[in-house]
Amino acid sequence: MSGSRAPGKESAGSRPNIVLIMADDMGFSDLGCYGSEIKTPVIDRLAKEGVRFSQFYNCAICGPSRASLMTGLYPHQAGVGESWTGLLSDHCVTIIELLKQAGYATNVVGRLDMVTADKWHDPKMIGRHVDRFFGSTGHVGPGNYFKAVRDTPFHLDGKPYQIPAEEFYNTDALTDYAVRFIGDAAKRGGPFFLYAAYSAPHWPLHAKEADIARYRRTYRALGWDELRARRYKRLTELGLIDARCPLSPRDPRVPPWNKAAHQRWEAERMAVYAAQIDCMDRNIGRILGAIRKAGAEQNTLVLFLSDNGPSDQAWPRQLDRKGRPWRRDGTPTRVGNKPTIMPGGPDTFVTYGPPWANVSNTPLRLYKGTSHEGGIATPLIAYWPQVIKPGGAITQQVGHIIDIMATCLDVAGVAYPPAFGGRKVLPLEGKSLLPIFQGKRREGHEALCWQLRGSRAVRMGKWKLVALRHKPWELYDMEADRAETNNLADRHPQRVKEMAAVHRTWARRCGVVPRGSAARAE
């Protein structure tokens, strides 16, 4: 019929669909479009046709980052200041709640840290406002990418989901349901929201053999020192890192590659990690394919980022307990970063540790859980063909994960309310990124602040003040030294004093509870 529009077909004046894709524990330089040797052609295309952020921040660890993503508040304001709690504060409202109220179909696949299985239908829980959900409701990584394990329950629309005994891989399964949800939303008509919270590349190192095989030779041949040098060179050539910024030193716990023992095992660890990212990239391609099939690609905003920097951790304890195996099928799990345990298979639990986390963060310093750049810097790629023209730009404008909610509401034409569900909510902290998508300069944040387990930071303009727990403040010029190698605190004591005062004021306003004696180091 003349003038009619098939369900899911876009029109120039329709509200955009919104797709948030989050990786877990992925480093700053782990994507091809951010200097990596890992093959990520799908994400690279998003960057080529969208916009890349060189200075975008998260909250250093999973729970706080995800709370800020969903609420547009600092994690402490949202009730998730130190780590995962499973409950958001009564004083916040989520992207999902507001978009659902505005007529969006709301869909989530993957890690939904803000809800636990037993609280799914509690009105305070985010799960009450999700139309469709598939994934895990625990607060750690997948536990096992291939098999069902204790303490990491999967759910489908609030009901327990039994992981198949065979032919299951976490990243693929999440995408199966993401594709299904997009198709269902397109048939329904109207705009949709999808939050795809992948577990990859969070440990354990589990990947399919065919994917691992693609990377073995690379890591055996090059090792971590050569790879850091190559990534650094590409980052500076791309303009993602200023050429004045040095490459941070190799982690002091890590030997030179030519003196590393068990090189084949070390290379295998990174090959599996790369395979996890490679597989995630292909699955993101499936999501984009579903959007195209729905006739919605031109007017769908896709945002891709990571929840924190890479993890240098090793798993410290055995998972199997007497009479209570970790895997639900009873198969023992071999745990530990030992050369006798080759990673990749479902009967192992191995991490890639400091050597390769140091590569993932090239050229930045430190890791997940700290407020140094290695803990809080993430790639952010925005793709929206109808708005971002021409594609391929790299912006140096600073952004933060608190800006994601403001952005989603802005593009959807939804106002942020002073109250929701009969309760007052805190004012939005984030600012929309839409002007940046449109090729404009936006009014940025006067200051951005962090505090996690005593690690703390404040970013103001080109200056960043940062400290580890129980340690004094360090001061860095972010224009010349993103790697945080030249501490200028002694040269600028007044600036340190002023920025520390900004952090204290922010901490009081946001309800930050100091841990231990961290505050005394200020």
Which amino acid, residue 74? Y
| pLDDT greater than 70 at residue 277 | yes
State the Cα–Cα distance between residues 196 and 23, nearest whole angstrom. Answer: 9
**Chain centroid, CA 397 distance in Å:** 19
State the Cα–Cα distance between residues 56 and 28, nearest whole angstrom. Answer: 10
- 52 against 127, higher pLDDT: 52
pLDDT in tens, 117-168: 566 556 556 666 789 999 987 655 678 999 988 877 888 987 888 999 888 9
pLDDT band at 401 (very low <50, low <70, confident <90, very high): very high
pLDDT band at 1 (very low <50, low <70, confident <90, very high): very low
Coil vs helix vs strand at 377: strand
Q: Please give the pLDDT value at position 521.
A: 33
pLDDT in tens, 228-257: 999 999 999 999 999 999 999 999 999 999
| pLDDT greater than 60 at residue 29 | yes
| pLDDT greater than 80 at residue 5 | no
Q: What is the residue whose two structure tokens read 């520390």?
A: 500
Q: How many percent of the chain have pLDDT more than 70?
A: 91
Burial class of 298 by CB neighbour count within 10 A (0 to 12, 13 to 18, 19+)? middle
State the Cα–Cα distance between residues 198 and 20, nearest whole angstrom. Answer: 11
Beta-bridged to residue 110, according to DSSP, are: 135, 197
**Chain centroid, CA 241 distance in Å:** 20
pLDDT in tens, 338-360: 999 999 999 999 999 999 999 99
| pLDDT greater than 50 at residue 41 | yes
| pLDDT greater than 80 at residue 479 | yes
| pLDDT greater than 50 at residue 42 | yes
CATH of domain 448-521: 3.30.1120.10
Q: What does the mean pLDDT of the chain come to?
A: 91
- 518: its two tokens: 């961290």
Q: Please give the pLDDT value at position 142.
A: 72
Lowest mean pLDDT among 78-87, 146-155, 413-422: 78-87
pLDDT in tens, 192-221: 999 999 999 999 999 999 999 999 999 999
pLDDT in tens, 291-315: 999 999 999 999 999 999 999 998 8
Q: Please give the pLDDT value at position 92.
A: 92
Q: Please give the pLDDT value at position 517.
A: 36
State the Cα–Cα distance between residues 159 and 149, nearest whole angstrom. Answer: 17
Q: What is the residue whose two structure tokens read 């599996």?
A: 272
* Calculated CA dihedral for residues 353, 357, 359, 363, nearest 10 degrees: -140
Asked whether 314 and 237 are in contact (CB, 8 A), the reply is: no
